[in-house]
Amino acid sequence: MSDNKVTTSQRQTLPSAIGEPMVWLTGGSLVLCLLMIILLLGMVVYNGSVSFWPRPIERVTLESGEVFLGLAMDQDVHAETLATRTLYRVGNRDIGQESFRWVDDQDIVESEYPSNAMLLEREAWGVWLGIPESIFTIDDEGNEVQIATGSDQVFEQFNKLHRDARDAGKAISKLKDQDLGKINREIESLRLEVQQSEIESHRSGDSLFRFNWGTWGFSGVLVAICVGFFIRVRHLGTEIGSIHARKGKLTRFSLIVSAFMLLGAMWIASPWGDKALDEQQLQELREQVVIREAELLSEYELKLGQIRAMEETNDRLRIVIREPTTGEFAPTSQTLSDEPLHMQQIVRAVESNQLSTADRVGVYLSRWWEYLSANPREANTEGGVFPVIVGTILLTLLLTIFVTPMGVIAALYLREYAKQGFVTSMIRIAVNNLAGVPSIVYGVFGLGFFCYTVGQYVDTGPKVSDRVNPGTWWMMYIFIGLVIVIGYAVNLWGKPDPGKLPSQFNLRMKRATWIVWFSVLVLGVLLITKTPYFHGLFEARAEDGTPTFGARGMLWASLTLALLTLPVVIVATEEAIAAVPNSMREGSYGCGASKWQTMRRIVLPGALPGILTGGILAMARGAGEVAPLMLVGAVKLNQDLPISTEAPFIHADRSFMHLGFHIYDLGFQSPDSQAARPLVWTTTLLFLAVVFALNFSAIMIRSRVRARMAGQTI
């Protein structure tokens, strides 16, 4: 017996039997994934955050005797000579220098950091590196009046003079963008008004059927009769178990359809619907427009003269900064190389070699503020990304607003109303497969359907070849009303009598319901696409070859991304609805609640956190998509924001800038890839921060909803 005890105590369980290797494998995989994520975020954060830190300006003397100023950006080993070399940013592109140059370290004779070196960040042509020489202004006689000479005096006087010049420049830009822009838009609207009136006048000979006042009034009497009969028979067929219930419901539904069809006919063929003007009215309109245009042009010239006077005063202040290689100063422009730089053309001047740590932090924060609040310049390689941020946030919010209701409604029907069988299984398989379709396919669909089909219809209505004559259209209109009533009747007779099993007749009617309602859908589409009464909302502008909604824009981009992310919301919402306990549904039914009341007050509130999770996932995926946006809305540069303080406030027809597309453009389409490389990291960091902020806001909302449902507060 003792031998058996010894043997039992010495017996060991193999690690494979208790799963220890699998524990190490799964734990190691988790650690590896976390390290990869931390490494990725670390690279983005580091490279994106150091881009704006001011670097010292180095004066480099080569063996050839050449002297230049540059910022050391990178170092590596030359592939052929195996010698170390340094990448310098030298700027000064407007005098023929390349922005960046590689220099072998062995060719450098001397390297120093002059205290009087200055870096200028300009509105155009990138940075300028040089030695400040003087600041002067030009008097009324055209003579130069020196304000500061020498580097020390220039440094001392620069900040105040530059601040005043930039403030004046901003005031000039505001006058150009707001006042002149408003006048130009009003002149354009007047021109389009005349052009639209001329188009409608030429179209008045199409002899479209319109109600006269007598027909319109008779239709109104018929609507009143339908409403009166509905009030009279509103209780007909509502008795439980009544054999006449179907007839009563059909009667009431027929009256409702008749009233709405008559109201639609009164609105479509209204006597005032024909807006055509005769020749005399057109001439009066032209004369009024000419008078108004003259007033606007006079106001335009007044504003323009004010702007020119301000520009002339502001342009007098100049600064001379020379670079040591050729001795040339920073010019006003490439074509005006003999005129020194205007003070207002400078965005920022940095004396990098004289800055203290606090000053460097100030420059760093100033560059970040410019990056977040200003418009891009220099082919997006400099300036800010404010329009890009606005476009990204607005697009993400719009796609979430569009996709969430669609996904919730679809999931609610699939889970709670649809009969679970082959058809619903195929629909779920299709939805899951749609989640794996390449995003560029959605972009092609959005371009072809939304932009070129729906957008063109909104602009100009149906094509002339697609329109039918008014008589045929009204026959289709009456016929679709009859089919709607027939569809409702077929649906009623597809249900068995109370307390009885479905008969063969009921089953045949139930199958026919799908055919009838599909016919209604087809007829409705034909009625809309063949109408002779709709000629678009922007017909005059389309005549000029400038489509409004028939081109890429914010609305179509958000709808395309909503379709792309729709499977995510449907799947998440279905799972959330399925997680609601059946006991809660049964309790609701037991209290006498209907199906819809149970859905609205029990199921949807219980599934709300899961629905919000689907919205968060859709937001996260849609915000990072780039390929569809390249086809349906995103552009390289557009400083007209899709949102403004003018009605309609959200301009859904405008193209926009997007952070994802901006990263692609900087990394692969930039004319100066070396200058754009730091901004690629910075934009990536900003993109992650924006997506994180949007997701964090949605998660906080979800947490509050959960806490409220649990009877807690956060």
Residue 165 carries which side chain, given as an amino acid letter? A
Kindly state the average pLDDT of the residues 494-519.
82
User: CA of 506: how far to CAs of 317, 340, 482, 488, 500, in Å?
Assistant: 90, 91, 21, 14, 11
Name the pTM for this structure: 0.86
In which band, very low, low, confident or very high, does the pLDDT at 561 lie, cut at 50, 70 and 90? very high
Q: What local confidence, expressed as pLDDT, does residue 290 receive? A: 92
148 forms beta bridges with 135
Alpha-carbon radius of gyration of the chain: 36
Mean pLDDT of 552-581: 92
Residue 711 pLDDT? 63
Q: Would you place residue 293 in the very low, low, confident or very high pLDDT band (cuts 50, 70, 90)? A: very high
- pLDDT recorded at residue 714: 41
What is residue 270's three-state secondary structure?
coil
CA distances (Å), 364 to each of 50, 57, 131, 361, in order? 9, 16, 22, 5
Q: Which residue type occupies 131? A: I
- In this predicted structure, the answer to whether residue 636 has a pLDDT above a threshold of 60 is yes
CATH of domain 387-461+535-674: 1.10.3720.10
Query: What is the tens place of the pLDDT at every residue in 419-476?
Result: 888 888 898 888 888 888 899 999 999 999 999 999 999 998 898 888 888 889 999 9
d(CA 175, CA 185): 14
Would you call 75 helix, strand, or coil by DSSP? strand
pLDDT digits (tens, 9 = 90+) for 669-680: 877 777 788 888
User: Cβ distance 455 to 652 under 8 Å?
Assistant: no
pLDDT for residue 364? 92
How far is the C-alpha of 310 from the C-alpha of 289, rounded, in Å?
31
DSSP codes, 608-642: HHHHHHHHHHHHHHHHT--HHHHHHTB-S---S-S
Predicted pLDDT at 1: 44
Cα–Cα distance for residue pair 71/371, rounded to 1 Å: 20
Could you report the per-residue pLDDT of 174-225, keeping only the tens digit for each?
A: 888 888 888 998 999 999 888 888 888 877 555 567 777 788 888 888 889 8
Please tell me which of 384-393, 501-510, 543-552 the model is most confident about, judged by mean pLDDT. 384-393
639 — pLDDT class (breaks 50, 70, 90): confident
Report the pLDDT averaged over residues 632-648.
83
**Residue 396 pLDDT > 70:** yes
pLDDT at residue 75 greater than cutoff 80: yes
Domain ranges across the chain: 211-273, 387-461+535-674
Question: DSSP per residue over 318-374, as a string?
Answer: EEEEE-TTT-PBPBSSSS-TTSBEEGGGEEEEE-GGG--HHHHHHHHHHHHHHHHHS
Q: pLDDT category, 92, cuts 50, 70, 90?
A: confident
Chain segment 402-426, per-residue pLDDT in tens: 999 999 999 998 888 888 888 888 9
Model pLDDT, residue 2: 47
d(CA 532, CA 209): 10
In degrees, to the nearest 5, what angle opens at C-alpha 159 toward C-alphas 154 and 164? 120
> What distance, in Å, lies between the first and last C-alpha atoms of the chain?
64
Q: In which band, very low, low, confident or very high, does the pLDDT at 372 lie, cut at 50, 70 and 90?
A: very high
Q: Are 439 and 628 in contact (CB under 8 A)?
A: yes
d(CA 127, CA 73): 14
- Helix 245-268 with 213-232: angle, nearest 10 deg: 160
Characterize the bridge pairing of strands 127-138 and 118-122: antiparallel
At residue 18, the pLDDT reads 66
What residues contact 505, with CB distance under 8 A and at least 6 apart?
493
Portion of the chain with pLDDT greater than 70, in percent:
93
Task: Examine the pLDDT at 20 and tell me if it is beyond 80.
Answer: no
pLDDT the model gives residue 237? 58
d(CA 462, CA 473): 13
